Amino acid sequence: MLGAGEREALAGVERIMIWILWIVFGVILIIAEIFTTGFVLLWFGIGAFIAALMSLLGFGYVVQFIAFFFVSSVLTAASRTIWAKYLFREEGGTGLKTGVDALPGKVGTVVLPSRGALNEGAVKVYGSVWTAYPVEGEAPLEAGERVIVERVQGASIYVRRFDALPEWRRSELKDKNESA
């Protein structure tokens, strides 16, 4: 049977072991964050460090787990609010547009000219080739032309020709060329 001193020493070793386990758990979570895109594991790693501090200060397991979950939850909620409010904001306030939603207004290049009754062609936008149709009133597409995406409908885009120079700039250049 263990004496009082031995039990006390064993409890001290156990407390140190728990503290070390919390630190290791926190480090593992923070390292795992490097390989994820969610930006959540960092906050749980910090929560584990706080739980390690609670263990080092002599608090029991219940307090350690409460500190871990409370700190992790608060930091996760706070970071989501910060990301949504300040980093993913657009001028119109509609939020960050990605993927297909970001295509309207983007400039592309015609890689296959229009053919057939529907004037179906192919346009490359940001490295992806899309089935494209000229918007109503536009002439058939010619290879190499620059176009701007008007809308996305299903897996097809509707485009109009895009002039690299705005109208005011073209007229200004034309006036200079005529006077020279």
- Whichever domain contains 128, its CATH number is 2.40.50.140
User: Quick one: 81 and 120 in the same domain?
Assistant: no
Residues spanned by the domain of 70:
4-87
Number of domains within the chain: 2
More confident residue, 33 or 88: 33
Residue 155 lies in a domain: yes
Residue 141 lies in a domain: yes
Domain stop point among 87, 114, 132:
87
pLDDT higher than 60, residue 165: no
Question: Residue 123 has what pLDDT?
Answer: 93
User: Quick one: 35 and 70 in the same domain?
Assistant: yes
Question: Residue 58 has what pLDDT?
Answer: 86
Question: Residue 151 has what pLDDT?
Answer: 92
Q: What pLDDT, in 10s, does the model give residues 49-62?
A: 999 999 989 898 99
Question: Residue 95 has what pLDDT?
Answer: 62
Q: What share of the chain is helix, strand, coil (3-state, %, to 5)?
A: 50, 20, 30
**Choice among 41-45, 123-127, 171-175 with the minimum mean pLDDT:** 171-175
8-state DSSP, 89:
-
User: Quick one: 19 and 80 in the same domain?
Assistant: yes
Angle at Cα 171 formed by Cα 169 and Cα 141, nearest 5°? 80
